[in-house]
Amino acid sequence: MSDTSAATPVPTPGTSTRQPAAARGAAHDSAFLRACRREAVPHTPVWFMRQAGRSLPEYLKVREGVAMLDSCMRPDLVKEITLQPVRRHGVDAAIYFSDIVVPLKAIGLDLDIKPGVGPVVADPIRTRADLERLRPLEPDDVRYITEAVGLLVDELGATPLIGFAGAPFTLASYLVEGGPSKNHERTKAMMYGEPGLWADLLDRLADITAAFLKVQIEAGASAVQLFDSWVGALAPRDYRASVMPASRKVFDAVAGYGVPRIHFGVGTGELLGLMGEAGADVVGVDWRVPLDEAHRRVGPGKALQGNLDPAVLFAPESAVRAKADEVLAAAGALGGTGHVFNLGHGVLPTTDPDALTRLVAYVHEATAR
Ligand code: CP3
């Protein structure tokens, strides 16, 4: 369902009068946005999922004594943490520092991010009555995001800022299970056993997610990524019937802004075509499917993002370069543009940050045209 109001964003009262579209203008011709639009690029752009965070000593330092979710609500910290990897690695895009559970916390759910565990929900969502706790997200619930994005866009200039959200399935998994899950038993039990309740849950999450992305875009984010990290747990038939409508609703809701929409999941080899169909402009690919094959599965008209195995960064530099070359060679199937270099999943916390910096320089050098 498309939201026609999306085309004419209304400035949030009390915030800067600077037009977000104008703020984005500085980044319009960046290699990253050009690649997302499948235009000619000066070099293949690079950024890393989880480029901000535990691999960086400067991150560990500023986070000392500040809980994860508290740090997400402090614009000064968000700005600093988002900029750290841009300064250090020279990546082609910044990713806004936050977490996929922030909008759920913002509407009042009792949840926390436990170090070494992940998001934990005090009272899981399992019944129709529980759905009432998932009220719509209002921009006022996340004013700190509007403020932090504004600060960042001013500072980043021509470097684009990527906003993001968790996709309805991945959020639902945390909410129904109550925390991280290997097999998603309760989530799937609801999906198969109570399809009406499941559809309503995903629909509410789609609205919350769309509202969360709109806040980031209206404040000046140049692109958005929908993380459906755990959707690879599903077979294509179930994805199409039970998940795709909600993810499509999110993509449709932000289509009018004209910012690239990236769709990412892990273990999604069999879902890549459907994830493109859901409304993405760019499909994120993990390391299990080479990009030429991913291109065949996604079809023409979409850019691809990926897909170096994050564990490769623990190998010697010559091996990292050889594996990066493989990614770049497979991306050749895209015809010279439409490739955003990334890892196949997030940076692992014990990664040597210098290995990342060297990789950025290598990809830039190897693809300079
Ligand atoms: O640099 C970036 O990519 C931006 C920041 C970002 C974070 N979380 C910060 C974070 C992003 C994009 C996310 C998204 C996110 N959060 C996802 C989707 C991406 C993916 O990895 O598939 C998921 C599944 C989550 C849920 C979540 N939050 C997990 C599994 C964890 C790790 C828990 C742990 O300690 O092992 C978090 C916490 C989290 N989010 C950290 C960071 C930097 C670590 C917290 C810390 O520093 O103490």
Q: What is the pLDDT of residues 278-331, one digit of tens each?
A: 999 999 999 999 999 999 999 999 999 999 999 999 999 999 999 999 999 999
Q: What is the pLDDT of residues 202-260, one digit of tens each?
A: 999 999 999 999 999 999 999 999 999 999 999 999 999 999 999 999 999 999 999 99
Cα 33 to ligand 1 centroid, rounded to whole Å: 24
For ligand 1, whether the C-beta of 164 sits within 6 Å is yes
Percent of the chain with pLDDT strictly greater than 70: 94
* Residue minimizing CA distance to atom 9 of ligand 1: 99
3-state secondary structure of 215: helix
For ligand 1, whether the C-beta of 179 sits within 6 Å is no
What average pLDDT does this structure show over 333-349? 97
Query: What is the best residue among 74, 99, 266 to mutate for testing ligand 1's pocket, by most ligand atoms within 8 Å of CB?
Result: 99
> Residue 118: pLDDT band by 50, 70, 90 thresholds?
very high
Mean pLDDT of the chain: 94
Nearest CA among 307, 243, 305, 310 for reference residue 280: 305
CB 145 within 8 A of CB 99: no
Cα 22 to ligand 1 centroid, rounded to whole Å: 30
Closest approach atom of ligand 1 to CA 180: 30
126 belongs to the catalytic site: no
**Could you give the dihedral angle defined by the CA atoms of residues 313, 227, 86 and 363, in that order, rounded to the nearest 10 degrees?**
50
The token pair that represents 275 in the structure block? 């994830």
> Residue 2: pLDDT band by 50, 70, 90 thresholds?
very low
CB 47 within 8 A of CB 95: yes
Query: What is the best residue among 47, 50, 77, 231 to mutate for testing ligand 1's pocket, by most ligand atoms within 8 Å of CB?
Result: 50
Cα 50 to ligand 1 centroid, rounded to whole Å: 7
Cα 88 to ligand 1 centroid, rounded to whole Å: 20
Nearest CA among 193, 200, 195, 188 for reference residue 234: 188
Q: What pLDDT is attached to residue 19?
A: 58
Return the axis-axis angle of helices 143-156 and 75-89, rounded to nearest 10°: 30
Cα of first residue to Cα of last residue in the chain, in angstroms, is 41
CB 342 within 8 A of CB 284: yes
Nearest CA among 147, 99, 56 for reference residue 356: 56
User: Residue 342, preceding bond cis, omega within 30 degrees?
Assistant: no
* Residue minimizing CA distance to atom 46 of ligand 1: 68
Q: Given the residues 92, 99, 207, 228, select the one marked as catalytic.
A: 99
Report DSSP state, residue 333: G
Closest approach atom of ligand 1 to CA 63: 47
Q: Given the residues 37, 63, 133, 296, select the one marked as catalytic.
A: 63
For ligand 1, whether the C-beta of 51 sits within 6 Å is yes
**d(Cα 301, Cα 36) in Å, to the nearest integer?**
11
**d(Cα 108, Cα 341) in Å, to the nearest integer?**
37
Query: What stretches of the chain adopt beta strand conformation (E)?
Result: 94-95, 111-114, 118-121, 161-166, 223-227, 261-264, 282-284, 303-308, 339-343
**d(Cα 33, Cα 27) in Å, to the nearest integer?**
8
For ligand 1, whether the C-beta of 167 sits within 6 Å is no
Q: Given the residues 174, 239, 257, 362, select the one marked as catalytic.
A: 174
Cα 111 to ligand 1 centroid, rounded to whole Å: 14
352 belongs to the catalytic site: no
174 belongs to the catalytic site: yes
Q: What pLDDT is attached to residue 14?
A: 37
Domains located in the chain, CATH noted: 21-367 (3.20.20.210)
For ligand 1, whether the C-beta of 267 sits within 6 Å is no
> Residue 20: pLDDT band by 50, 70, 90 thresholds?
low
257 belongs to the catalytic site: no
288 belongs to the catalytic site: no
Interstrand relation of 261-264 and 282-284 (parallel, antiparallel or unpaired) = parallel
Residues 6+ away with beta carbon under 8 Å from 85: 48, 51, 52, 56, 91, 94, 356
